[in-house]
Amino acid sequence: MEPLTWTGSLGFLNPIFLTAAAVLAAAFLLQFLLGLFGMKSGELMIQHDGTAVRTRTPMDYIGFVTLGALYVALACVVGYLLVGMLLPGGAKGIIGHVSARLIPVWIAMAAVFTLSILFKRRLGLYGKLFDSTVGMIGFGVVLFWVFTAIFHQMILTHDPLTAVSGLKNKVPGTPTPEGTAGLEWYLLGGDTLARDVFSRMVAGSWEVMKIAPFATIFAFMVGITLGLPAGFYGGKLDTFLSFLANLILAFPVILLFYLLVTPEIVQSGLPRYMAGVLFLFPIIFLVVLFNSRYFTDPTKRNLYIGASVLIGGYIYLGVAWNADPFGLISMPGNILVVFVSVVFVNSPTVFRIVRGLALDIKTRDYVAAAQTRGEGPWYIMLWEILPNARGPLIVDFCLRIGYTTILLGTLGFFGLGLPPDSPDWGTTINSGRKLLSIYPHPALAPALALMSLVLGLNLLADGLREESLKD
């Protein structure tokens, strides 16, 4: 069987794409150089007769060229993805085969974007995100990896942990031996142990998505539950909690990770005890939230609190102590160690952000009005201060998922926490770095995946910040 080329039968588009890319790069460079010398785009001029005329400068013409080259390059990319997936067999090329495997992702993304744009005026800050180009791009990149993680079992071409004889460090598009299960090619080549790089990259997205967002949510629960009373009450409570937060932040993050995931610390049971404490905070947060909101309606209060304690307690037993009586919920020890480490490291930073917001917002008039009505302190903190701090917190949440993704990659790169054969991106990069100068593809694919997810989260945070400032 013949090896795959990158574009297959669509190779005739390659000169067009490369020319457009070269023109685009040259136009960007020229715009940058002219900008250094103070040249600006044309301005709208009002003539004596009242008509408006826009003047043109070289920057405007370069802008037209840039836009045209961008459209041509994007049209080629769309052709590679859409037309390529429809072609048969080897005519698809590597890009066409990858695009075909990602069909569930494309359908899910199209559905989400269509519904979101149609109903964006009813969706609050999320809907306003689609008024920001930067935010939409970031959201699209993040959504791509989220759906890739969700549908990873449908996308995989081979078992990410299985080696195929003869495919060690093979280049992208190499055919697999006859009788090998899965697709007939290694789309992104083989790694140093002859495993499929594409399948490991896809499986790695699931490893990231099942830890990073949830660990960030838990860190926010801890930071909010402690930061609100510290900022609202102040005094000795604020001093004590701030001291603890600063004490944790005083340690270098990577050193703290090393200490928490070392075998000696793991065998001592410390991560399990830390999980027992940290994982209580979501339950505490929900109980206090519903108690403060429905204090005057005992029926609803007892219902919501009871549901929170029962459901939360059941999940808590399974996740923190691996003691689910029905055996449905559990967290492997190595993942628990990483999860607890991420929560423990991120919580102090969230605490400081929430505390600072509470110190500022508690002086507002609507807080004084709530106190005049006789509302309790926790009602004011959770239902007056916290909703009005949601903008900065949502932005920080997106950024923090990116930081957590980098931390997970760092742990995997140093071989800490997750098992050595884990397909997470950090471990995959580490396994491919030894022969990077000869075979770059085993490390390049997960590195680009990691970079794109973090970039998407940063762009999404920028879009949310831009739209939240307009409120």
The identity of residue 231, as a single letter, is G
pTM of the model as a whole: 0.90
Indicate if the pLDDT at residue 471 is higher than 90: no
Burial of 222: CB neighbours in 10 Å, binned 0-12, 13-18, 19+? buried
Indicate if the pLDDT at residue 102 is higher than 90: yes
Indicate if the pLDDT at residue 47 is higher than 70: no
Indicate if the pLDDT at residue 417 is higher than 70: no
Name every residue whose Cβ is closer than 8 Å to that of residue 163 and which is 6 or more positions away in sequence. Answer: 193, 194, 195
Confidence at 48, pLDDT banded by 50, 70, 90: low
Which pLDDT score, from 0 to 100, does residue 34 have?
82
| Residue 80 DSSP class | I
pLDDT in tens, 130-143: 888 889 999 999 99
Contact indicator for 242, 355 with CB cutoff of 8 Å: yes
Indicate if the pLDDT at residue 53 is higher than 70: no
Q: Which SS3 state, helix, strand or coil, does residue 378 take? A: helix
H/E stretch holding 396 reads helix 390-413
Which pLDDT score, from 0 to 100, does residue 28 have?
86
446-457: average pLDDT: 94
Confidence at 332, pLDDT banded by 50, 70, 90: confident
* Whole-Å CA distances, 169 to 98, 419, 433, 436: 19, 22, 12, 11
68-89: average pLDDT: 91
Task: Write out the DSSP string of 278-296.
Answer: HTTHHHHHHHHHHHHHSTT
The identity of residue 5, as a single letter, is T
| Residue 384 DSSP class | I
Question: CA-to-CA distance for 386 and 367, rounded, in angstroms?
Answer: 11
Of 51-65, 159-173, 198-212, 316-330, where does mean pLDDT reach its minimum?
A: 51-65
pLDDT in tens, 345-371: 899 999 999 999 999 999 999 999 999
Of 117-126, 146-155, 451-460, where does mean pLDDT reach its minimum?
A: 117-126
Name every residue whose Cβ is closer than 8 Å to that of residue 446 and which is 6 or more positions away in sequence. Answer: 197, 200, 201, 204, 425, 426, 428, 429, 432
